[in-house]
Amino acid sequence: MNSLEDLLGAVQGSSVREQIGQNLRADSSAVNSAIEIALPAIMGGLAQNSQTVSGAAGIDQALEKDHDGSLLESLSDYLQGGVPSPANANRQTDGSGILGHILGNASGPIAQEISKRTGLSAGQSANLLITLAPIVMAYLGKQKKQNDLDTGSLSDLIQKRAQQTQRGGNPILDLATSALDRDRDGSALDDLASMAADYFMK
């Protein structure tokens, strides 16, 4: 899942990608490259979290409460508002909040790495991550609703998507894992579970 077309389908994915490029006021090739890095990084964070029972349950509960997939039906309105900010976001569109609890301290380093690899500024890269996070959650919410996924099936879907990304190669995932290991115990799983519980269980 490296592109918006993978996530949303060819027509909607292309339209969303173009709108994001306009919002960021960035070169289309740089934006495309950044999306191909950012989407797997977000899904990789979710995949790490979903490996724990509490983390998987937290994601499932968040989708049930706040991310039913309906955002995908109004993406144009969502994106026409420009880069989402906490002041005008609800839980469905709170990209900063979602990122903070999925990626935590890794958000900054990942934005910096995207910037280095694509030529986008660090601010543009951060805003891209903020914009994409609610779209990823909406995608998962839609899959959960349409396919009546329970916690285990949802976790399997997230893991499958992340594995597809890893086969394609994405060094950002190693950066995310390292940055997420807040207590330096060699594993990001406990740290992710703690961060996700703070956000998803509210």
Q: Measure Cα distances from 129 to 109, 141, 144 in Å.
A: 12, 18, 22
**What pLDDT, in 10s, does the model give residues 32-85?**
999 988 998 898 889 888 888 888 998 999 899 889 899 998 898 889 875 555
| Cβ atoms 79, 16 nearer than 8 A | yes
| Cβ atoms 105, 180 nearer than 8 A | yes
Domain that includes residue 113, residue range: 4-200
Average pLDDT score over the chain: 80
| Cβ atoms 166, 32 nearer than 8 A | no
Residue with tokens 């790495």: 113
Task: Using alpha carbons, select from 88, 116, 86, 81 the residue that is nearest to residue 98.
Answer: 86
DSSP secondary structure of the chain: --SHHHHH-HHHHHHHHHHHHHHHT--HHHHHHHHHHHHHHHHHHHHHHTTSHHHHHHHHHHHHHH--SGGGGGHHHHHHT-S--GGG--TTT-HHHHHHHHTGGGHHHHHHHHHHHH---HHHHHHHHHHHHHHHHHHHHHHHHHHT--HHHHHHHHHHHHHHHHHH--THHHHHHHHH-TT-SS-SHHHHHHHHHHHHT-
- C-alpha–C-alpha distance, residues 88 and 50, integer Å: 29
Residue that wins the pLDDT comparison between 107 and 154: 154
- C-alpha–C-alpha distance, residues 180 and 52, integer Å: 15
pLDDT (0 to 100) of residue 16 = 94
pLDDT (0 to 100) of residue 48 = 84
Number of domains in the chain: 1
Express as a percent the part of the chain with pLDDT over 70: 77
pLDDT of 182 higher than 80: no
